[in-house]
Amino acid sequence: MSVNHDCLRCLNRSVCVVGQVDAAQNPVVRNAMQDQIRLLPGDVLLRPGMSFEHLYLVRYGHFKAVLLDPDGRSHTTRLQGRGDVLGLEGLDQGRHHHEVTALQHASVCAFRYDAWCDLASSLPSLQQAWFKTLSRATRLDGQHMLLLGCLDGQARVASFLLMLGQRVGDLQGETLDLMMTRQEMGNYLGMTLESVSRHLSQFQRRGWIRLDRRRVTLLQPDALQHLRRADEPRKFRVHAPFQRPMGRGEQSVMST
C-alpha cells in the first residue's frame, strides 16, 4: 500500500534517515512506505509480545519505551523523538519487548521490515544513513547508562533538561515541554519523584530555570552544563592500578 506523503516536503527531512536519499528516489521511498500513523498523548504504538513486522520513523512528537523487569516493575529505558526509529528492538527474537507510548501528539511513518531492507540494499545513500542512525542509537543508550551510573541526582536532572533543549535545537530561553510527570521523569532517571521535584525547585530558586507545571524555560543553560561537568571528574576519575608493597629482597620488574 502506497501512502500519499511527499518526503521532499516533510519538515522532518533534515533529521530523518530517508532525508539523505536523493530527490529523484523519493517516489521509491514513498511507495515502500506502508502507512503513516498519527497518535494522541497516551496512545500505545507497540506492546510487549507483538510480532516484529515494521519499523517506525518518528516525524514529530516524543515516545517513551518501557520495559518490565521479572518482578513486574516498569522501567523507562528510552525517550525517542523526531528522526528516531522505533521498533528495532523486536528484530532479534521476532517480537517486541517494550511498550512504546506517545508522550505528545505524534506521527510516525511505518515501513515493513522486509521492504525496508530491500529499499536500503538498493539505495546506498539510505544504507549509509541507516548505519549512522544505528550508531547514534547505540551512543545515546551508552550515554543514558553513564547518566544512571555515574552522575548524582542534581547532575541527572540537569542532563535531562539539557537533552530536551538540544532536541529542539535551542537551549537559551526556550520553553520546553517536560512531556512526563515528575514520577515518570524519576523512573527514567533512576530517582524518586521527591528527588526530581526537589532538584527542579532548587534550579528554579537559583534562577536557572522557570517552571510552569509541565513546561520549563532554560534561563541559564550554562549553569546546568557546569553542574553536569563538575560532577563528571569525581565520577570518572581514573585510579592507578593497585600495587602490592614489595617485600624485603624483592625487586621491581621495571628495574630489571
Q: Are residues 90 and 171 in the same domain?
A: no
CA-closest candidate to residue 52, choices 83, 75, 86, 25: 86
Q: Are residues 12 and 119 in the same domain?
A: yes
Query: Tell me, what CATH number does 160's domain have?
Result: 1.10.10.10
Domain assignment present for residue 241? The answer is no
Q: Are residues 175 and 106 in the same domain?
A: no
Domain assignment present for residue 249? The answer is no
Query: Tell me, what CATH number does 55's domain have?
Result: 2.60.120.10
Scan for cell 532538584, then name that residue.
199
> Which of 131, 162, 195 is the C-terminal boundary of a domain?
131
How far is 199 from 250, CA to CA, in rounded Å? 54
Domain assignment present for residue 223? The answer is yes
> Which of 101, 131, 161 is the C-terminal boundary of a domain?
131
Range of the domain at 193: 151-236
Q: Are residues 125 and 161 in the same domain?
A: no
Give me the pLDDT at residue 207, please. Answer: 94
Domain assignment present for residue 11? The answer is yes
Give me the pLDDT at residue 133, please. Answer: 80
Q: Are residues 26 and 122 in the same domain?
A: yes
Q: At what angle do helices 124-150 and 113-122 cross, to 10 degrees?
A: 120
Q: Are residues 90 and 188 in the same domain?
A: no
How far is 133 from 113, CA to CA, in rounded Å? 16
Give me the pLDDT at residue 110, please. Answer: 93
User: How many structural domains does the chain have?
Assistant: 2
Domain assignment present for residue 246? The answer is no
Q: SS3 for 178-228, per residue?
A: CCCCHHHHHHHHCCCHHHHHHHHHHHHHCCCEEEECCEEEECCHHHHHHHH
How far is 100 from 177, CA to CA, in rounded Å? 19
In the sheet with 63-68, reading across from the earlier edge strand, the strands are: 44-46, 99-102, 63-68, 74-80
Residue 251, C-beta contacts closer than 8 angstroms, at least 6 positions apart? none
Q: Are residues 174 and 120 in the same domain?
A: no
Domain assignment present for residue 140? The answer is no
Scan for cell 508522550, then name that residue.
103
Q: Are residues 78 and 121 in the same domain?
A: yes
Give me the pLDDT at residue 249, please. Answer: 52
The gap between the terminal CA atoms of the chain, to the nearest Å, is: 75
Give me the pLDDT at residue 202, please. Answer: 95
CB 29 within 8 A of CB 21: yes
> Which of 74, 99, 131 is the C-terminal boundary of a domain?
131
Q: In this predicted model, what pLDDT tens digit does every residue of 173-184 receive, in sequence order?
A: 678 888 888 999
How far is 86 from 63, CA to CA, in rounded Å? 9
Give me the pLDDT at residue 86, please. Answer: 93
Q: Are residues 51 and 101 in the same domain?
A: yes
How far is 85 from 12, CA to CA, in rounded Å? 13
Domain assignment present for residue 192? The answer is yes
Pairing between strand 209-212 and 215-218?
antiparallel
Q: Are residues 126 and 221 in the same domain?
A: no
Grid coordinates standing for 98?
517494550
Q: Are residues 78 and 156 in the same domain?
A: no
The ranges of the chain with pLDDT < 70 are: 1-6, 8, 142-143, 145-147, 168-173, 231-256
Domain assignment present for residue 145? The answer is no
Q: Are residues 56 and 87 in the same domain?
A: yes
